[in-house]
Amino acid sequence: MTQTFKLKKGEISFETDKVRISDNSRKQNIIQLFRPAMWTIYGTISVLRYLKTGDQFLLWTGLFIGISHFIIFILSILRSNQNEIPFDDIKSIAIKRRFSNEFLDIRLKNNRLRRIIGIENSNEVEEYIKSNIKT
């Protein structure tokens, strides 16, 4: 039995033994890797400018920007963008809500995260997960 739910740009299908996702996750992951990488480079350049000028502002802002975005970069690397996930590989699955955004987080057994954004009917997906999927 296959249950399909619409996303804003794609769909998610719960089949008997796996979850099939068709969205633009590869593009999102590239963007999520590019932005913090650029900010990390900017922070490094600010610290290097501090070494030349001695301005404390450049040191502290460069360290803050560089370190925080480096952490975000590492967390982005730990995300998955698999299109087919067997139920045997799923550790947990849940609908998350932050501010006005709703997304489906699938935590895999290898501690990677597959995030699905743009769910049109999150209440239906949540009810289906509670009633049919045991993780």
In this prediction, residues 57-85 reach a mean pLDDT of: 90
Closest CA to 119 of 86, 93, 85: 93
At 11, give phi and psi (nearest 5°): -155, 160
In this prediction, residues 69-79 reach a mean pLDDT of: 89
70 burial level (CB within 10 Å; 0-12, 13-18, 19+)? middle
Give the residue extent of every domain in the chain. 3-20+88-132, 31-77
Higher pLDDT, 66 or 87: 66
CA distances from 55 to 50, 58, 62, 104 (A): 5, 6, 11, 45
88-125: pLDDT as tens digits? 888 888 888 888 788 888 888 888 888 888 787 778 88
Residue 50 confidence class, pLDDT cut points 50, 70, 90: very high
Does this model's pTM top 0.85? no
User: How much is the pLDDT for 52?
Assistant: 92
Buried b (16+ CB within 10 A) or exposed e, 47-63: beebeeeeeeebbebbe
9-44: pLDDT as tens digits? 888 888 888 888 888 778 888 888 899 999 999 999
User: How much is the pLDDT for 71?
Assistant: 95
**Residue 65 confidence (pLDDT) above 60:** yes
Amino acid sitting at position 5: F
User: How much is the pLDDT for 36?
Assistant: 94
The C-alpha angle with vertex 70 and arms to 69 and 75, in degrees rounded to 5, equals 95
**Helix%, strand%, coil% for the chain, nearest 5:** 50, 30, 20
